[in-house]
Chains A and B, each alone.
Chain A
Amino acid sequence: MSKSFEIILEKANSWIESNQKVVLATVIQTWGSSPCQVGSRMIVNEKGGFLGSVSGGCVEANVINECMELIKSKNSFKKIEFTILDENAWSVGLACGGEMAVFIEQINL
């Protein structure tokens, strides 16, 4: 229903045209309750700029870091899984008690 992915892909294209490296993150699986549905997307550039969302804010920072690491590495893709938040730790997790998998991939020239 939302038009956001269209805006995201156009932005990814414009970042690439201005010679930036871009990683596309996509929610590929969710278990239990999770704020973003399968297919939700976010793009991240080499400077850490981002657009879109893969959760309600719970794991964005972690995904952004992973995307920036991916740009530095030789790999072109990676699958990241997030599990239930340990409430006693200041770690990344999903406060809603869900689990999710995010696929991150470089846009290759």
Chain B
Amino acid sequence: MKIEILKEIIKKKSSKEQFAVLTNLSNGNSEIFEFGKPLSKDFENYKNEIENYYNLKKNGTINGTQIFILNYIKPIEVIIVGAVHITQYLIDLIKNFNFVITIIDPREYFTTEKRFQNIKIINEWPNKALEKIQTNSNFALITLTHDPKIDDPALNHALKNKFFYIGALGSKKTHENRCKRLKEAGFNDKEINSIHGPIGIKLGGKSAPEIALSIVVQLVSETNKISLKSRN
């Protein structure tokens, strides 16, 4: 692989787009594939097969050829509302996975850089902050403030924009009240029941790192479910 390709992969990864890297195993040549862009002589004869693998996000050697394709999948975007103690542990665990994180919290004393290094933080109310982000079903929302005036607008936004995962922190009682408010806001039972609340899998712990772990497990599990669906 040429160093230019390596540098381009690193650059492209940060632009969050889907692409693939092709390698001709018989001569070692490799190049970056983007849908619709012309291929070089090494690969142009296999255009259809390459596009097929790309669309299925499948990695491997294309049958009967010496062409290897490795897909770089668009990362899932995770919006965390609330820059609280649990969030610090959550960030620590989540960074090993292919997620792009944004933290939203209007409370300045929580969102200091000292608490969250190298993480995108929007220090505004969720409805204002979410106006600036183009969201879709590739997004996940985790609300951690259990304060309705901060969490609710974000939950409304996530339900309307069909986030694939929505999880909300709070006791069963808090969640019941939350569901009532969402119902009053016009959401149906199916939409409201799609919210994971209380958030996280049953791990049996109450400390901040344990809650963070239970949230990450649930998020990863739900993310794997959708990536399996998109393959079938």
Chain A residues close to B by CB (< 8 Å): 1-4, 6, 9-10, 12-13, 16, 24, 26, 28-29, 37-39, 76-77, 79, 103, 105-109
Complex: A105 Cα to B70 Cα, angstroms? 15
Q: Are A3 and B10 neighbours in the complex by a CB distance under 8 Å? A: no
The answer to whether A16 and B98 touch across the interface, beta carbons within 8 angstroms, is no
Which residues in B have some Cβ–Cβ distance to A below 8 Å? 1-3, 6-7, 9-10, 13, 23, 25, 28, 30, 59-61, 68, 70-71, 95-99, 220, 223-224, 227
Please, which residue of chain A has its CB at the minimum distance from the CB of B9? Answer: A9
On whether A28 and B60 interact (CB within 8 A), knowing A3-B97, A3-B98, A103-B25, the answer reads yes
Q: Could you tell me the distance between the alpha carbons of A108 and B24 in the complex, rounded to whole angstroms? A: 15
Q: Which residues of A contact B7 (CB under 8 A)?
A: 13
B25 touches A107 (CB 8 A): no
Is B60 in contact with A29, judged by CB distance below 8 angstroms? yes
Q: Are A38 and B59 in contact (CB under 8 A)?
A: yes
Verify A38–B3 contact, CB threshold 8 A.
Answer: no
**A103: contacting residue among B9, B13, B23, CB under 8 A:** B23
Q: Is the beta-carbon distance between A1 and B2 smaller than 8 angstroms?
A: no
Interface SS of chain A: helix, strand, loop or mixed?
Answer: mixed
- Cα-based distance from A79 to B68 in the complex (angstroms): 12
The answer for the CA separation of A16 and B4 in the assembled complex, in Å, is: 12
Given the interface pairs A1-B220, A9-B10, the reply to whether A107 lies near B3 with Cβ below 8 Å is: yes
- B6–A2 touching, CB < 8 Å: no
Chain B residue contacts of A3, Cβ below 8 A: 95-99
Contact A38 B97 (CB under 8 A): no
Bound together, the chains give a CA A39 to CA B22 distance in angstroms of 12
Whether the pair B28, A77 counts as a contact (CB closer than 8 A) is yes
> Which residues of B have CB within 8 Å of A1?
97-98, 220, 223-224, 227
Cα-based distance from A103 to B97 in the complex (angstroms): 25
CA–CA, A106 and B223, complex, Å: 34
Specify which chain A residues have a CB less than 8 angstroms from the CB of B61 in the assembled complex: 28-29
Q: How far is the CA of A16 from the CA of B99 in the complex (A)?
A: 27
Q: Could you list 4 further interchain pairs (A-B, Cβ under 8 angstroms) beyond the known A79-B25, A107-B6?
A: A3-B95, A26-B23, A39-B70, A109-B3
Pair B70/A26 contact, Cβ less than 8 Å: yes
Residues in B neighbouring A13, C-beta threshold 8 A: 3, 6-7, 10
Taking CB atoms, residues of chain B closer than 8 Å to A38 are: 59-60
CA distance A1 to B224 in the complex (A): 8
A-B contact pairs, 22 of them (CB 8 A): A1-B98, A2-B97, A2-B98, A3-B95, A3-B97, A6-B98, A9-B9, A9-B10, A13-B7, A13-B10, A16-B3, A16-B6, A24-B1, A29-B60, A29-B61, A103-B23, A103-B25, A103-B68, A106-B1, A107-B1, A107-B6, A108-B2
